[in-house]
Structure 1
């Protein structure tokens, strides 16, 4: 029985709205515009290459802004960084929508997409740091896996809401949905009371370590577990490209290709919480190693598929492997991050992860150009085996504050 003066037991359900509501709304807003950015650029007169570059600006903006994001979070605090990032993203999408209305705003669209990426970097880092400090360590993996899962759910349903808006007002409708989603995220983050850090971190005083100091003092972690995270991120990013490319290689029509991709994503969203529970109760390697092995095996099997059914089965396996790894990057980053300099550490951690996200498709493209698509897909699958090997060696040996 809990003593009268003891705090109530921690419950993820009890913090669901302040912890996960803004992330869901932000992801809906981002998901709504992702399918139409390239089409918007083409409508504004961009070539196919330029349209692809503008889409890439979202990822590049996020990647290069991870380190400044850590400084912003340190200066303004997690809550107001989340509010500012969501508001900034809403303004950027408003500008993107205006670029379509004026019909001659390709540069405005490009700048807006870069700002969306930068806003996402600040939002994600602040949200991760916030949950790391507000959730007891025994619930950490479940909380961060849920955060990852909620973000995926938002990104999944956002395009459907955007499509409904497009049907009424044209392609700019997707951007108005994006504005509404991100603005709602900012409002919710303002109005919902802050969570209370469980470790008293908010009361710590004294000068914060520098970004360089954190990089040097934790170089061993970045060069071991960080390499595993880089490989995992490259694997995840590549699998998003591989499925539609191989569907096209097999001659599947767009409807069947979209069905394969969508069902893979649906499986992806269903398993994040059980995986987080396993990580909390058994250890991080119980998810890190199987998830990367499953995705690696599935990608190696893709060149052996010859039609819709076989590709669908392998795509479902990829979705399952990726789904159980939901929140893994954030959880390991939280585990290894120090009390002092946590924001700087997480900025560096996310920078490495986003480097993998950018590099994975580049590897696929390079091997495909040099050999064939099948060889490129197989090379991508090898990343999964490499990541599993790194995690198998590193995770049981490195010390961090999560005691299994």
Structure 2
């Protein structure tokens, strides 16, 4: 029997409609993330309330992962992506006009919740789309590129926001986000439809699984590989807090801390595609284990740093480890997701990942409060070694080649 070679497919053929909206959406997010807390403060919020409003984005995304899977199932990947980008544009417009509204702090808070919810739908739908549109042999490269594009957008978004704020103040950053989100929605309309999956020969539609049935039938995956994903997400989220906190601990000013963070982020963006290629050719373990070991080691080195150079070297190591793991969570989710019930599975998968992303900084804060910042950083470093051990044991070698 002759089969079509997966190599005949080219990522370039779907590059603009598949990755363009993701870039624009993340640019919109990046443009507003640095100013949300400042906006809240301008509207009279305390420091604690301002921090909470920023956190609402992540909480909205986390808790909406499961409904997001149902929305994607109902409307399809393309229209879920379009709707999520449009909803985010409307939410950012509401945030922009919140200073004109009495008690505008509540409107700002509601807008951030909607942005988080929209991000959940957008991310799940685009992951599901690429999982089904791209041949398995190119899956890691496609999803690593998706993760890398998101990093690029988050990186350059603040610069765009800073540029427009020179002319229109903080509100201009939100309008920049509106433009980016609206452009993402418009470009998403061009996403090609997926080929229809042939139904059963007798014409009887296959029963649709529920979130509960998928959770029960794949409990082994969630409690094994899923645990590694949770630990990796906790490690990733913690690194974003650790670098500026340790820089402050060493007495550095905001400019030095930002420089270290920015250089680490630049390294992060340079290695995503080679890592995806390695995962496709050698297997997921070749990236999952080294990346978590590298980040865990770097975290343990941070408390040993005593100056700018030492912290910079540790941050570069973190950036490299995080960069090569770009798309890893999405790739593993795609690998283990069933053909029937993929949306529900990915919703549960993303829920676990976001739980880790929320719990990592909480662990850092708790250990720091109980002991010291150095101990807190060390505790987050241990997460990397734990994740590496889980991945080494639970990821079957070359399992992603099961389809051919």
Q: TM-score range by the shorter chain?
A: over 0.9
Partner of 1:86: 85
Partner of 2:172: 173
Partner of 1:194: 192
Partner of 1:10: 9
Counting only pairs closer than 5 Å after superposition, residues 337-356 of structure 1 correspond to structure 2 as 337-356=337-356
Distance across 1 between alignment mates of 2:152 and 2:398: 32
- How far does residue 9 in structure 1 lie from its aligned partner after superposition? 1.8
Residue 218 (structure 1) aligned with residue 218 (structure 2): yes
- How far does residue 292 in structure 1 lie from its aligned partner after superposition? 0.2
- After TM superposition, the structure 1 stretch with the greater mean CA deviation from structure 2, 205-214 or 118-127, is 205-214
Distance across 2 between alignment mates of 1:47 and 1:402: 54
Change (3 A) 1:91 1:402: farther
Distance across 2 between alignment mates of 1:225 and 1:210: 21
Distance across 2 between alignment mates of 1:120 and 1:129: 14
Distance across 2 between alignment mates of 1:273 and 1:287: 12
Partner of 2:21: 22
- How far does residue 396 in structure 1 lie from its aligned partner after superposition? 2.6
- How far does residue 13 in structure 1 lie from its aligned partner after superposition? 1.4
Partner of 1:153: 152
- How far does residue 401 in structure 1 lie from its aligned partner after superposition? 5.8
Native 8 Å contact 2:333 2:349 kept in 1:
yes
Partner of 1:75: 74
Distance across 2 between alignment mates of 1:181 and 1:193: 17
Change (3 A) 1:398 1:275: closer
- How far does residue 350 in structure 1 lie from its aligned partner after superposition? 0.1
Change (3 A) 1:202 1:350: farther
SS at match of 1:339: coil
Structure 2 segments unaligned to the other structure (5+ residues) = none
Distance across 2 between alignment mates of 1:33 and 1:259: 20
Counting only pairs closer than 5 Å after superposition, residues 3-402 of structure 1 correspond to structure 2 as 9-102=8-101, 104-190=103-189, 192-197=190-195, 200-201=196-197, 205-396=205-396, 402=402
- How far does residue 208 in structure 1 lie from its aligned partner after superposition? 1.1
Distance across 1 between alignment mates of 2:112 and 2:45: 15
Change (3 A) 1:400 1:45: same
Native 8 Å contact 1:135 1:143 kept in 2:
yes
Distance across 2 between alignment mates of 1:158 and 1:219: 38
Deviations for 1:60-108, whole angstroms, at most 9, x for unmatched residues? 0000000000000000000000000000000000000010344740000
Distance across 2 between alignment mates of 1:80 and 1:101: 32
SS at match of 1:396: coil
Distance across 1 between alignment mates of 2:235 and 2:191: 37
Distance across 1 between alignment mates of 2:39 and 2:128: 34
Native 8 Å contact 2:296 2:384 kept in 1:
yes
Native 8 Å contact 2:28 2:178 kept in 1:
yes
Distance across 2 between alignment mates of 1:18 and 1:279: 24
Change (3 A) 1:389 1:109: same
Change (3 A) 1:252 1:402: farther
- How far does residue 54 in structure 1 lie from its aligned partner after superposition? 0.3
Change (3 A) 1:132 1:368: same
Structure 1 segments unaligned to the other structure (5+ residues) = none
Change (3 A) 1:202 1:104: farther
- How far does residue 14 in structure 1 lie from its aligned partner after superposition? 1.7
Native 8 Å contact 1:279 1:287 kept in 2:
yes
Distance across 2 between alignment mates of 1:366 and 1:92: 33
Change (3 A) 1:62 1:20: same
- How far does residue 400 in structure 1 lie from its aligned partner after superposition? 5.9
Native 8 Å contact 2:230 2:355 kept in 1:
yes
Change (3 A) 1:367 1:103: same
Distance across 2 between alignment mates of 1:170 and 1:6: 54
TM-score by length of 1: 0.95
Q: Superposition RMSD on alpha carbons, in Å?
A: 2.0
- How far does residue 15 in structure 1 lie from its aligned partner after superposition? 1.1
Change (3 A) 1:364 1:288: same
TM-score by length of 2: 0.95
Distance across 2 between alignment mates of 1:202 and 1:388: 39
- How far does residue 207 in structure 1 lie from its aligned partner after superposition? 2.5
User: How many residue pairs end up in the alignment?
Assistant: 399
- How far does residue 6 in structure 1 lie from its aligned partner after superposition? 9.5
Deviations for 1:129-162, whole angstroms, at most 9, x for unmatched residues? 0000000000000000000000110010000000
Distance across 2 between alignment mates of 1:266 and 1:145: 16
Distance across 1 between alignment mates of 2:22 and 2:342: 20
Native 8 Å contact 1:231 1:383 kept in 2:
yes
- How far does residue 206 in structure 1 lie from its aligned partner after superposition? 2.5
Change (3 A) 1:76 1:316: same
